[in-house]
Amino acid sequence: MSDFSARGWVKFPYDSVLAEWVNHALPAARASTTDPAHAEWLDCEGTWFIGVDALPNDTKGRVGRSGPLTGKAMAFIDKHFGDIPLHKGQVSVVYPGYPRPRRGENEAATRYRRHRDAAHVDGLRPTGPDRRRRVDEPHVWILGIPLTEASADASPMVVWDGSHHILRSAFRQALEGMPPEVLHDVDITDIYQSARREVFATCPRIELPAKPGEAYLLHRHCLHGVAPWAEGATAGQDGRMIAYFRPECAGGVAEWIESA
């Protein structure tokens, strides 16, 4: 836990138990990318399938004929965070040419996606014409499970090492003294953007390519994003496909900030 606490992320080596789960999950994940029910998730001019809730797993992670989602990564999570029911996983697929502009995205946002890996903290959605941010999805943790083989430069996950310390401090400052029932309404835009600039200036940017059977866990306050697809990067016809799980805190924003 010490590395995770200090750095805000941990990568797990190849695990045959997880690889077996991937073998069962991949057909369902692949089917989701062409399911008309999920057509809205193909964005960035066809270079990103966002795939929110697209994996048909149950609360234990069973999908297709698989058993529950288990292995080294889940054992670590259970030990340090407890046994938390899983939501339907995200099937995030990046294809050659990423990033292209997302629907409704202005030039500045597209530039940020290209040059800053669309770096963000999960659960802080921009809303309204001024794109103000609040904590509307307080996640416990973020687990990434690669489903396909891809070269290391095929839009890997990017993290800013130790960034969770800066961001957690900023969020606590923004929410300090507020009653628990209004925390989700507090505008944190300005302090978030300031903290993010500090992260870019002081925290190392680290790419986290991973293969099926490997996984990585991110602290919920860790700044992270997706690198552009490099020239010459390779992946199969399924693209660079990763399943993400990010269950929400049962105690809402109060738990999200106090127990981090």
pLDDT tens digit sequence for 222-254: 999 999 999 999 999 999 999 999 999 999 999
Taking a C-beta distance cutoff of 8 angstroms, is the pair 220, 140 a contact?
A: yes
Q: How many CA atoms lie within 13 A of 155 on its CB side?
A: 27
Share of the chain above pLDDT 70, in %: 99
What is the rounded average pLDDT for all residues in the chain? 96
CATH of the domain at 77: 2.60.120.620
Number of Cβ within 10 Å of residue 76's Cβ equals 18
Query: Distance between CA 245 and CA 239 in Å, rounded?
Result: 19
Using 50, 70 and 90 to split pLDDT, how confident is the model at 89?
very high
Q: What is the pLDDT of residues 29-45, one digit of tens each?
A: 999 999 999 999 999 99
Which pLDDT does position 125 carry in this prediction? Answer: 82
* Structural domain contains residue 222: yes
Rounded Cα distance between 108 and 215, Å, is: 32
Maximum C-alpha span of the chain? 52
| pLDDT over 70 (residue 9) | yes
What is the reported pLDDT for 132? 93
Weakest mean pLDDT among 1-15, 162-176, 185-199 = 1-15
120: number of Cβ within 10 Å? 18
**pLDDT (0 to 100) of residue 54:** 98
Whether 256 is covered by a domain: the verdict is: no
Residue pointed to by tokens 């003294």? 177
Over range 11-22, report the average pLDDT.
98
pLDDT range class, residue 260, cuts 50, 70, 90: low
In a domain, 82, yes or no: yes
Distance CA 116, CA 129 (A): 22
Q: Are 49 and 226 contacting, i.e. CB atoms less than 8 angstroms apart?
A: no
Considering only CA atoms, give the Rg of the chain. Answer: 18
Count of structural domains, the chain? 1
- With a cut of 90, say whether residue 49 has pLDDT above it: yes
What is the per-residue pLDDT for 112?
A: 96
**Domain with 196 in it:** 2-250
Collapsing DSSP states into helix, strand and coil, what is residue 190?
helix
> Does residue 13 register a pLDDT over 70?
yes
Q: How confident is the model at residue 1 (pLDDT cuts 50, 70, 90)?
A: low
pLDDT at 16 over 70: yes
**The pTM is what?**
0.96
% of residues, the chain, pLDDT over 90: 93
Q: Is 88 among the domain residues?
A: yes
Residue 239 lies in a domain: yes
Mean pLDDT for 145-151 is 98
In angstroms, the CA 60 to CA 57 distance is: 8
Give 244's contacts (C-beta < 8 A, 6+ positions apart).
Answer: 89, 90, 92, 142, 143, 144, 145
The residues, any chain, with a CB within 8 Å of residue 161's CB and separated by 6 or more, are 7, 8, 9, 203, 204, 205, 206
